[in-house]
Amino acid sequence: MSGYSSLLKTSGVARIIAAQLVARFPFGMLSLAFLLHVEQVTGSYGAAGLVLAAASVGQAAAGPLTSRWMGVWGMRRVLVLTLVVCVVTVTAIALVDMPVPGYMALALVSGLATPPIQPAVRTIYPKMVNSKQLTPLFSLDASAQEIIWVLGPVITTFISTQVGTDWGILTAALIMVFGGAWFISSPEVSRVRIPRSRRKIGQVLKRPPVLLATVVGFLLIGACAALEAGVVATFGHEGLDAGIVLGIFSLGSLAGGLALGHIPIGPWALARRMFIVFTGIAVSIFFSDALLLSITLFVAGIGIAPALAVLFAIVSASVKFSDTAEAYGWVGTGQLIGAALGSAAAGLLIDQNGAVGAFWAAAAFAFLGFLVPLLGKRWHPDLRGRDASPIPDTEPIQVHSV
């Protein structure tokens, strides 16, 4: 823990972590808020899953593109534009009654306009700390972001059940405005300039570690999305049980990230962490009691933040600085496609088989998430004793003869 303490004393680190956490906090609320709101309006978890899928597909499509735009137009311009559009469309979902296709259309636009805060801050980090501090910083960030998933579901469930599902969404929109403005106004956002990439969009996926991180992120978040829907279906939205269980799930991730963040990243790191996630989810299939589910999901959560930290580190160590934002955009796209498919699969299985169907889907995603890095070990960089900073960009230098 002393290592994290010294890291937070580095100039600007604590502030930028806090700002990006608040800016991203609404996205720990919106999935559940959309699920509760659309299910209440339509009476169907399947319909709610389709709306969540539309939002996730929009985010997935925009991720690499808006991340790449930051290297062309600058971070601040891209962040302001996307923030405004996202807030407007999210607010419309809360305030306007419409059929399911209408909700899906607005959710798609809100997803397309999701501010690329995560790629931005992942690109900023290597410019704020030295090479030895970078991997612990990724771990601290992955752990700290679990605050979003601990408090987000609880706050959303409380507001949606006690005040109204529309206010669950509107609260997220208000936090989005405040957090987005705070992050955008941070000095690092204007100080760090992403060089324009010389590669065609998508070329960065040819690097095996980036592709590995994208696929495993897709499966990990797919498992989490299916699990979230399953917990909500198990307890309904009349009380706080669903939010509390999901909060404890994320608390396990926070604990795991802080406990395992100092461990050097070897070639088996990702498979080991994903096995923890799979084991906890697989056992949870057999329980519907809030206490027992909280215990099994806490165990599953222990592997999540450490797995995410590994994804961030192997991407950073494998690409040039000019490609980092796009690489993280693709990783985010993989995660969002996973969220879309996980939510949609869980919604359909809940309608057909009850809440346990979502847990089946989550376990299947998590098992594949363990199997892929196990079989793809040779693509996993060994970062033990290595610098996880991005590869420096080089360019020809003109030499004038005298």
* CATH number for the domain that contains residue 47: 1.20.1250.20
Whether residue 94 is contained in a domain is answered as yes
Rg (CA), the chain: 20
pLDDT tens-digit readout, 230-245: 988 888 766 678 878 8
The predicted pLDDT at position 194 comes to 74
Whether residue 336 is contained in a domain is answered as yes
Whether residue 20 is contained in a domain is answered as yes
The answer to whether 307 touches 273, Cβ cutoff 8 Å, is yes
For the chain, the domain total comes to 1
State pTM to two decimals: 0.77
The predicted pLDDT at position 313 comes to 85
What residue ranges of the chain have pLDDT lower than 50? Answer: 395-402
| Buried-exposed string 22-32: b where 16+ CB fall within 10 A, e elsewhere | bbbbbbbbbbb
Whether residue 345 is contained in a domain is answered as yes
* 391 three-state secondary structure: strand
The predicted pLDDT at position 238 comes to 61
Whether residue 284 is contained in a domain is answered as yes
Whether residue 335 is contained in a domain is answered as yes
Whether residue 388 is contained in a domain is answered as no
Concatenating the DSSP letter of every residue in 315-361 gives HHTTSBHHHHHHHHHHHHHHHHHHHHHHHHHHHHHHHHH-THHHHHH
**Residue 368's domain spans which residues?**
16-193+203-379
Whether residue 305 is contained in a domain is answered as yes
For tokens 């795991």, the residue is: 256
User: Looking at beta carbons, which pairs linking 256-259 to residues 24 or more positions away fall under 8 Å?
Assistant: 256/143, 256/301, 256/302, 256/303, 256/304, 256/305, 256/306, 257/139, 257/140, 257/142, 257/143, 257/144, 257/146, 257/304, 257/305, 257/306, 257/308, 257/309, 258/1, 258/4, 258/140, 258/143, 259/302
Concatenating the DSSP letter of every residue in 21-73 gives HHHHGGGGTHHHHHHHHHHHHHS-HHHHHHHHHHHHHHHHHHHHHHHHHHHHH
